[in-house]
Amino acid sequence: MRFLVDAQLPIGLARMLEQHGYESKHVADLNMMETSDQNIWKWAKQNKSIIISKDEDFVTLHNADEQPVPLIWIRVGNTRRKELLEWFNRLLPIIVEKIASGELLVELV
- Average pLDDT over every residue of 28-48: 96
> What is the domain count for the chain?
1
Distance CA 75, CA 97 (A): 19
Q: Place 97 in a pLDDT band, splitting at 50, 70 and 90.
A: very high
Residue 53 has pLDDT above 90, yes or no: yes
**Torsion (CA) 88, 93, 97, 99 in degrees, nearest 10:** 30
Q: Place 78 in a pLDDT band, splitting at 50, 70 and 90.
A: confident
Distances (CA, A) of 89 to 63, 64, 83: 27, 30, 10
**Torsion (CA) 46, 48, 42, 23 in degrees, nearest 10:** -110
Range of the domain at 29: 2-108
Residue 24 has pLDDT above 90, yes or no: yes
When computed from its CA atoms, the radius of gyration of the chain, rounded to whole angstroms, is 13
Predicted pLDDT at 1: 94
Residue 77 has pLDDT above 90, yes or no: no
Predicted pLDDT at 10: 96
- Average pLDDT over every residue of 8-35: 97
- Average pLDDT over every residue of 78-86: 93
